[in-house]
Amino acid sequence: MNNNAGQAIRLKKEILVRIIKAFLSEDFKEQTRLIPYDMRPKGMEVPYRCCIYKERAIIKDRTIAGLGFAIEEDNETTLLSTYAQKALERTEISNKNLTVLQAACKGCNTNRIYVTDLCQGCVARPCESSCKFGAISIVNGRSVIDDSKCKKCQMCVNACPYNAIVKITVPCEEACPVGAIKKDETGFASIDHEKCINCGRCTAACPFGAVHEKSQIIDILKEIKSDKKVIAMIAPSIAGQFPGNIYQLKTAIMKAGFDDVYEVAQGADITANNEAKEFIERMEGDQKFMTTSCCAGYNQLIEKHLPQIKPFVSDTKTPLFYTAEIVKQEHPDAVTVFVSPCVAKRAEGFDNPNVDYVMNYEELGALFVAKKIQIMDCEETKYTKEASKQARNFGYTGGVAESVKASLKDEDKIKPCIISGLTKESIKQLKQYATNGECANGCNLVEVMCCEGGCIGGNATINSVRTAKKQIDNFTANSENIPKIE
Amino acid sequence: MDKISVKVCVGTTCFVMGGASLQELNDIIPKKYGDKVEIAASNCLGLCSINWEYSKAPYVKVNEEVVANATTEKVLEEIDRQLGI
Ligand code: FES
């Protein structure tokens, strides 16, 4: 993560804290209206942009996303206090989970191949001869690219002995594995929600922090404030995200206003066992491999872009599915909130009637900050059902395959192949497996995680992948093993 | 000269506001300074709860000196300054 992106993420979190504080104050609307002015008061030195007004405009946009609205739909004249009021009145959430902050986006050039001043106008002209599309000509002794012919193949970039030709990239476009985000004619990035698999890569890739998740935090706080029972379901990866252990975390979450907390790892135990049974059945049939099905980003990829792999994908439901089912059975009157590492799960939550809201780790963190809750000062509270070690390790790469393996009496039946991160390349690889009907090197269980490192690499995580994994391993070292299937 | 003591706040506010990534100091500091500098994690240093001071979290203390908005680079700079490098 570069420093700028780090600062942008910090800014997002600070705004979330302020929105929550505003909600908890006497006058939500007015306090929300003041957020840009409180953060950039008169006379303050301007940290990032050209002037204080632009900074405030950007903070306003970020606040709109934090209140759960699409920035694209803002007409610039609507006051933040009006948005706050609308958020209070809103009774439904939308399934367009990402929104782009236009004022911050303007900063980058469009994707293209560009000849720099380093061009020596040489005699050999390897650039010209390397181009298969006739896009390069020499004008006044300098190489010039005709953008209408250029296919961005980068042959010239590699051919130039002076490294004079460069590829200018738009980070979000580069990062998106399915071509769902593009700079349009206006120069702003926009998201094609039909194509978007909610992997969240663009949010992490943009150095300006211009892509935002639309938060449901106000909707959740409203439920908490009403007398309803609100239950948090925490994803396994959370064990590496906050100070203290998950028992102290449970107390902290309850202090923040929730009535109960369930470990989604509880559902992961069911997922692993079911997947193991299914694996045996499929391998005894005529299939050569099976892929896992717990990652929401991967499931949307299959739906929208990779239907050919469907026959090989496990029919087992996600840990969240089973957990939410249990919670709604035990508490039919409760409002359920999934606490998530990523934006992809927002889409899964939206489609599942047992999941009412999704709150990401940054938002939960902001809630702790706003309410001044110190997790390490909290007592431990036990969970009604303890999850297994393998289920608790679901959130990092390799963990799911390991849990399926550990569910079998004969663990050697499984030869796992791990996809850690959905990129253009790994999607190609999956396509290949689907076409061939088998995967490379005799592997028979493909674990697919949308994010590098697994869920601990999700777009809304707080900790780095390395330290998060360490923290989880320390915690799960003493957990019980997963039961084996018959 | 006494050892320099570095206290990285891993209280909830600091951790959430960016302190999580300061854990890399645990590896960097012993490598860079050997036993001249001692590093420890600390629960909430009590700095975040004053007014809106959470907005300057994460905090690190290098001896008595408070580094606000702490980054790995800033902390190393402060150590160097105190060591007179
Ligand atoms: S959490 Fe670091 S000073 Fe309070």
Minimal Cβ distance to A14: which of B15, B48, B55: B55
* Ligand 1 center from residue B68 Cα (angstroms): 10
| Long-range own/partner contacts, residues A432-440 (CB < 8 A, 24 or more apart) | A433/A289, A433/A309, A433/A312, A434/A306, A434/A308, A434/A309, A434/A311, A434/A312, A435/A308, A437/A287, A437/A288, A438/A288, A438/A289, A439/A288, A439/A289
For residues A428 and A297, membership in a common domain is answered with: yes
For residues A336 and A359, membership in a common domain is answered with: yes
What pLDDT is attached to residue A312? Answer: 95
**Residues of B in Cβ contact (< 8 Å) with A17:** 54-55
Within-domain flag for A133? yes
For residues A283 and A414, membership in a common domain is answered with: yes
CA-based end-to-end distance of chain A: 45
For residues A265 and A317, membership in a common domain is answered with: yes
Residue A293's domain spans which residues?
A: 220-476
Shortest-distance Cα residue to atom 1 of ligand 1: B11
CB contact under 8 A, B12 and A462: no
Within-domain flag for A120? yes
Q: In total, how many domains does chain A have? A: 3
CA separation (Å) from A433 to A141, A199, A283, A402, A443?
49, 21, 16, 21, 11
Residue B17's domain spans which residues?
A: 4-83
CA separation (Å) from B50 to A247, B53, B54, B55?
28, 5, 8, 10
How far is the C-alpha of A432 from the C-alpha of A34, rounded, in Å? 54
Q: What pLDDT digit, counting tens, does each position of A76-133 carry?
A: 899 999 999 999 999 988 889 999 988 777 667 777 899 999 999 898 999 999 999 9
Q: What is the value of ipTM here, to two decimals?
A: 0.91
For strand A357-360 and strand A335-340, is the pairing parallel, antiparallel, or unpaired? parallel
* Residues B24, A380, B54: CA angle, nearest 5 degrees: 50
**Residue A97 amino acid letter:** N
CA-based end-to-end distance of chain B: 14
DSSP labels, A47-107:
SSSSSHHHHHHHHHHHHHHHTT--GGG--S-S-HHHHHHHHHH-----S--EEE-HHHHTT
CB contact under 8 A, B43 and A377: yes
**CATH (domain of B24):** 3.40.30.10
- pLDDT confidence band for B52 (50 / 70 / 90): low
Within-domain flag for A178? no
* Ligand 1 center from residue A199 Cα (angstroms): 32
Kind plus residue range of the DSSP H or E element containing B42: strand B37-42
**B6 touching chain A per CB within 8 A:** no
Nearest residue of chain B to residue A249 (CA atoms): B12
Nearest residue of chain B to residue A10 (CA atoms): B17
For residues A323 and A438, membership in a common domain is answered with: yes
What pLDDT is attached to residue A3? Answer: 44
Mean pLDDT, consecutive 10-residue stretches, chain A (486 aa), reads: 62 94 96 95 80 91 95 91 96 90 75 90 92 92 91 92 91 92 83 94 89 95 95 97 96 97 97 95 92 95 96 96 97 97 96 97 96 95 95 95 93 93 94 92 93 95 93 94 90
How far is the C-alpha of A267 from the C-alpha of A272, rounded, in Å? 9
**B68 touching chain A per CB within 8 A:** no
CB contact under 8 A, B24 and A464: yes
Q: What is the DSSP letter of A302?
A: H
For residues A100 and A130, membership in a common domain is answered with: no
For residues A99 and A142, membership in a common domain is answered with: no
For residues A300 and A449, membership in a common domain is answered with: yes
**pTM greater than the 0.95 cutoff:** no
Q: In total, how many domains does chain B have? A: 1
What pLDDT is attached to residue B1? Answer: 66
Within-domain flag for A132? yes
For residues A292 and A387, membership in a common domain is answered with: yes
For residues A455 and A383, membership in a common domain is answered with: yes
Using a 6 Å CB cutoff, which residues line ligand 1? B 9, 11-14, 44-48, 57, 59
Q: What is the DSSP letter of B73?
A: H
* Ligand 1 center from residue B69 Cα (angstroms): 11
DSSP labels, A167-187:
EE--HHHHH-TTS-EEE-TTS
**CATH (domain of A278):** 3.40.950.10
Within-domain flag for A255? yes
Within-domain flag for A189? no
For strand A230-234 and strand A335-340, is the pairing parallel, antiparallel, or unpaired? parallel
What pLDDT is attached to residue A76? Answer: 87
Which residues, in sequence order, are bridge partners of residue A105?
A: none
Token readout for A339 is 């606490």
B84 Cα to chain A: minimum distance (Å) = 26
* Beta carbons within 8 Å of A327's beta carbon, 6+ residues apart: A231, A233, A262, A334, A336, A354
Q: Do A12 and A215 form a contact (C-beta atoms < 8 A)?
A: no
Within-domain flag for A88? yes
Q: How many CB pairs under 8 A join A and B?
A: 71
